[in-house]
Amino acid sequence: MNPYLPSWEYIPDGEPHLFDGRVYLYGSHDKFKGSGYCLLDYVCYSAPEDDLTDWRYEGVIYKRTDDPENRDGKLCLYAPDVTRGPDGRYYLYYVLDLLPVVSVAVCDTPAGKYEFLGYVHYSDGTRAGEREGDEAMFDPGVLTEGDRTYMYTGFCWSYAKDRHGAMVTVLGPDMLTVMEEPRFVLPSGQYSKGTGFEDHEYFEAPSIRKYNDIYFLIYSSVKFHELCYATSTSPVEGFKYRGVIISNTDIGIDSYKKASVPAFYGANNHGGIISLDSGDYIFYHRHTDGTNFSRQGCIEKIKIEKDGFIKQVEITSEGAEKGHFRGKGEYPAYIACNLFCDKEQTYTGDPGTFLGPDFPRITMDGVDDPHDINYVSNMVSSSTVGYKYFDIIDLTQVKVWVRGFVEGDLSFRIGIDGDKLGSVHIGKENYWAEHVINVDHVTAEAAALYFEYRGTGALQFLKFELI
C-alpha cells in the first residue's frame, strides 16, 4: 500500500533499480519535523522483483560525513542515483546542498557501505559545475551503457535566465572524468518557447531509463507537483515532451473530479520508472505533516506503450498491490490518497512554511520513536479523506478509531460525490476511541471510500475496519 515503506520512514526522490533479481530503492532521507530537506544519511531498501510490496531494510549505505567536503556534517545529501559501472561495481552519484558539483561513491554490492571515490571533473581536474560559465550540477540521474555513463543534472527556477535547463554530461569508464561536456537536453522556463515543453518546463529531478530502445527522461516540471517525461532515440539529444506521468495532487486527472482540482496537498516531486515482468511502475513522493520537509515514497502502476507513451495515472492507496484491497478488514488511515476540505489548496506552502490551521494533514506523534504510526490529523469541519480501491461484498459496518476535543459527525460514502451511506456522532475524546458506522449491505467493485467530518474542533483519524 502507499506509502510502501513503514509509516515512520521518510524517503523521497525514489530511484528504483533492478540488480540481480531485486529492486533496490535509493533516495534522499527526510526527517519527521525536520527543518529542511534531506537531513539524514542515505539508507536503502530492496524488494523481490516480482513483489514490490515486500520491502527489506538494507541499512545505512552512506553518511553525509563520508564526503570530504562535509566532514563536519553541516551539509545535506540531496537526491542520489546509482548505476552499475563497466567494472561491475555500483556507483552512487549525489550532490551536497550549497555545492554545485557531483560527488561519487562506490561499492561492490548494491546496498553495501559505499566509499567516497571523487568528484565529477574535466580532464584538467576542474570539477564540473565550478568552471567559469558552468551551470550548477544538481540531482544527478545516471545511466551506464558500455564504458559511457550519461549523467543528467540541473536546477532551474522558472524565472532564472541564467539556468537553461537539464544537462547531460558523458563520463568515461572511470565514472568521474568528463568525456563529452554538458549539453542542454530539456528547456527551463525561460527558454521553452516553440519547444513543445511550454507550461511543463524543466525544474529539477532528472531520472533516466531506457526501454525498447527509447530513452525516457523523467523530470519535475515548474509546476512542482507533477512528474513529466520526454523521450528520444538518443541519450544526448532529440528529447521531445510526451506528457505528465503523475501529479502528487492528482491535478490533470478528470476521471472522478475536474482536472484542475487538487485532491491532495502537494509540493515538489521526484521519482523514476521501472519496467518489470510484473508490470511498469512510477515511484514518486507525497508530502506529510503540512510541510515540504517530511516526504514519503509512493508507487503507482503505469503502462509503457511500445511507442513510449505513458498515460497519466491517479494517485491511489494501493501502490504495487496485485489487485484491489479486500473489502473486509482493518486499514490504517494514513494510506489516504485523497485529502482535502472545502477551502481549495494545491501546495503545502513555500519551503519553510506550513499548511495553516484550516487544513488536514498526515502526521505522527513522536519524533524519536522509530515505530510510531502515522494518522490523519487536523480534520477541521469539511475535511475529507479518501482511499482507493476496494472490492466490497456485503458491507454492513465500518468501524473507525478517532480522537479529538470535537463535537460533530463523521460520515462515510463511496465515491467522491457519492451519497452518505452512514455516519456517527463524535464527542470530546482525548484518547483513541472506537465508533461504528452502520451501512445497509453495500456491495461495490473498485470502490473509492471517503470519510468526511463536519463539526467543531479538529478530529484525528487513526484507522478503520470494514465488516
Answer whether residue 77 shows pLDDT above 80: yes
pLDDT at 354: 78
Instruction: Note the pLDDT tens digit of each residue in 385-427.
Output: 999 999 999 999 999 999 999 999 999 999 999 999 999 999 9
Which residue type occupies 321?
E
* Chain position carrying cell 451501512: 439
How would you label 226-239 residue by residue, b for 16+ Cβ within 10 Å and e otherwise?
bbbbbbbeebbeeb
CA angle, residues 181, 184, 190, in degrees to nearest 5 = 140
Q: Which of 311, 331, 316, 315 is nearest to 376 (CA)?
A: 331
What is the per-residue pLDDT across 453-464, written as a single tens digit (0 to 9) for each?
999 999 999 999
* H, E, C per residue of 434-465: EEEEEEEEEEEEEEEEEEEEEEECCEEEEEEE
Q: Which long-range contacts (CB under 8 A, 24 or more apart) does 309-312 make?
A: 309/242, 309/243, 310/229, 310/242, 310/243, 310/245, 310/273, 310/280, 311/243, 312/243, 312/244, 312/245, 312/246, 312/247, 312/252, 312/253
Question: For residue 243, what are the CA distances in angstroms to 156, 222, 347?
Answer: 19, 14, 21
φ and ψ of 399, to 5 deg: -90, 140
pLDDT tens digits, 14-41: 999 999 999 999 999 999 999 999 999 9
Residue range 239-292, pLDDT digits in tens? 999 999 999 999 999 999 999 999 999 999 999 999 999 999 999 999 999 999
What are the CA-CA distances from residue 169 to residues 4, 151, 192 (Å)?
33, 5, 21
The rounded distance, in Å, linking the Cα atoms of 192 and 183 is 16
Report the SS3 class of residue 136: coil
Q: What is the mean pLDDT of residues 103-128?
A: 98
pLDDT at position 356? 86
DSSP track, 209-229 = EEETTEEEEEEEETTSSEEEE
pLDDT band at residue 355 under the 50/70/90 scheme: confident
- Write the DSSP string, 362-428: EE-S-SS-TT---EEEEE-TT-EEEEEEEEEEEEEEEEEEEEEEEEEEEEEEESTTPPEEEEEEEEE
Query: For a pLDDT cut of 70, what percent of the chain falls above it?
Result: 99
* Per-residue pLDDT band at 3 (split at 50, 70, 90): very high
pLDDT per position as a tens digit, 44-57 = 999 999 999 999 99
The pLDDT of 364-393, averaged and rounded, is: 90
The domain segmentation of the chain, as residue ranges, is 15-302, 325-466
Q: 65 by DSSP, 3-state: which?
A: helix
The pLDDT score that the predictor gives to residue 367 is 65
Q: Is the pLDDT of residue 186 over 80?
A: yes
Average pLDDT, the chain: 96
Domain 325-466 adopts which CATH fold? Jelly Rolls (2.60.120)
Classify domain 15-302 at the CATH topology level: Tachylectin-2; Chain A (2.115.10)
Whole-prediction pTM = 0.97
Which amino acids are annotated catalytic? 13, 204
Angle at 236 between CA 231 and CA 241, to 5 degrees: 25
In this predicted structure, the answer to whether residue 353 has a pLDDT above a threshold of 80 is no
